[in-house]
């Protein structure tokens, strides 16, 4: 047995695999450039107390951290690049519409469900500024085009919006920890766990009923009917926005709707999405809308996606 010198969940890219990685890097960045995205190469490490900015709590749990001999402060290796771009955007002045793209490696404590890897090469884009429906359509069209350019044809785009779930959780007035637990339960879609959790906190039956409904509302575009008929306007608006978006996207793509199980880290607000391909159990890409705070608590909107290049290479090899 050869000692690779590598921890479990890490790997080297050698020969054809390295060539595939470089080829994908060049082709995807070329697409980004043609859509006027500016290349950014963020640092691999940041101070732990600021990594991820306003999403710090979501990211630190996934970060490898260590003490820095030079600064005597704790440093973390990035588990995500999107929030690094948000920091850079603020440093650039956080004004007007800005478009950034990137290609880089991330490291996280937990392994990817498909590749069993703790490291992953990610390529993605981030659009900053006031985000419109037209921006959502543009970003999603670019994502679909990128996935198709890698040879994937049978694509499923999962779409959702966080507003209905956030509205329900906010009305319960839970503390931060219980809100996180509830989100995880909603994501797992376990009605038994939901019942036990809600009963332990003496949550009223009408709220439990609403949460259960949101847990099972997923699938085809017909699943939007529940939201459109709901008495809450945020539910109605979420459904209408998704309908508008889908009407402007390619007809050849399959669409799936989801309102309780959202991809990625827990910092998205608004549109969330992920891409799946046939015979491939895990998503190849994910993204969504989020907000960052900067000076004087001003809020900066952003929308973006990242493509898991490591998973894509594995899929190319296995297909």
Each residue's pLDDT tens digit, 214-273: 999 998 888 999 999 999 999 999 999 999 999 999 999 999 999 998 876 677 889 999
Instruction: Report the DSSP beta bridge partners of residue 303.
Output: 127, 289
How far is residue 8's CA from residue 22's CA, in Å, rounded to a whole number?
Answer: 24
User: What is the phi/psi pair of residue 269, to 5°?
Assistant: -140, 115
3-state SS, one letter per residue, for the chain = CCCCCCCCCCCCCCCHHHHHHHHHHHHHHHHHHHCCCEECCCCCEEECCCCCHHHHHHHHCCCCEEECCCCCCEEEECCCCHHHHHHHHHHCCCCCCEEEEEEEEEECCCCCCCCCCCEEEEEEEEEECCCCHHHHHHHHHHHHHHHHHCCCCCEEEEEEECHHHHHHHHHHCCCHHHHHHHHHHHHHCCHHHHHHHHHHCCCCHHHHHHHHHHHHCEECHHHHHHHHHCCCHHHHHHHHHHHHHHHCCCCCCEEEEECCCCCCCCCEEEEEEEEEECCCCCCCEEEEEEEEECHHHCEEEEEEEEEEHHHHHHHHHHC
- CA pseudo-torsion sign 11, 17, 149, 85: positive
What proportion of the chain, given as a percentage, has pLDDT over 70? 92
How far is residue 31's CA from residue 160's CA, in Å, rounded to a whole number?
Answer: 25
Looking at mean pLDDT, say which of 32-36, 119-123, 151-155, 188-192 comes out highest: 32-36
Q: What is the mean pLDDT of residues 83-112?
A: 89
As given in the structure block, the two tokens for residue 130 are: 């006031």
pTM exceeds cut of 0.85: yes
**Residue 280, pLDDT above cutoff 50:** yes
- What pLDDT is attached to residue 152? 84
Q: What is the mean pLDDT of residues 153-168?
A: 93
Which residue bears the tokens 């948000």?
Answer: 86
Q: What is the mean pLDDT of residues 159-164?
A: 94
Average per-residue pLDDT for the chain: 89
Sequence-ordered list of residues with C-beta below 8 angstroms from that of 114, at least 6 positions apart, any chain: 280, 281, 282, 311, 314
How far is residue 50's CA from residue 203's CA, in Å, rounded to a whole number?
Answer: 35
- What pLDDT is attached to residue 315? 58
Q: Walk across the sheet containing 285-293 and list its strands.
A: 38-39, 98-107, 119-128, 299-308, 285-293, 268-277, 155-161, 254-258, 218-219
């Amino acid at each position: 047995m050869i000692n690779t010198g590598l921890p479990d969940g890490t790997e080297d890219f050698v020969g054809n695999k390295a060539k595939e990685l470089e080829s994908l890097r060049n082709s995807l960045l070329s697409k980004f450039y043609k859509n006027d995205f500016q290349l950014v190469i963020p640092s691999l490490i940041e101070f732990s107390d600021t990594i991820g900015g306003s999403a710090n709590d979501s990211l630190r749990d996934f970060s490898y951290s260590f003490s820095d001999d030079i600064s005597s402060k704790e440093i973390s290796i990035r588990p995500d690049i999107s929030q690094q771009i948000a920091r850079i955007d603020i440093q650039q002045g956080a004004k007007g519409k800005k478009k950034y793209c990137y290609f880089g490696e991330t490291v996280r404590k937990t392994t990817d469900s498909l590749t069993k890897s703790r490291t992953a090469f990610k390529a993605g884009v981030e659009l900053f500024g006031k985000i419109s429906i037209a921006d959502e359509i543009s970003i999603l069209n670019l994502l679909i085009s990128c996935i198709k350019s890698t040879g994937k044809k049978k694509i499923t785009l999962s779409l959702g919006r966080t507003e209905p779930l956030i509205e329900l959780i906010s009305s319960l007035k839970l503390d931060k920890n219980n809100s996180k637990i509830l989100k995880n339960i909603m994501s797992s879609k376990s009605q038994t766990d939901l019942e036990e959790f809600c009963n332990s906190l003496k949550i009223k039956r009408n709220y439990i009923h609403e949460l259960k409904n949101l847990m099972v509302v997923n699938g085809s575009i017909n699943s939007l009917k529940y939201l459109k008929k709901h008495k809450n306007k945020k539910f109605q608006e979420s459904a209408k926005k998704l309908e508008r978006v889908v009407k402007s996207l390619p007809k050849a793509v399959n669409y799936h709707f989801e309102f309780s199980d959202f991809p990625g880290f827990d910092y998205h607000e608004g549109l969330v999405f992920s891409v799946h391909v046939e015979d491939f159990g895990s998503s190849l890409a994910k993204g969504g809308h989020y907000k960052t705070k900067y000076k004087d608590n001003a809020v900066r909107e952003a929308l973006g996606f990242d493509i898991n290049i490591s998973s894509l290479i594995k899929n190319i090899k296995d297909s």
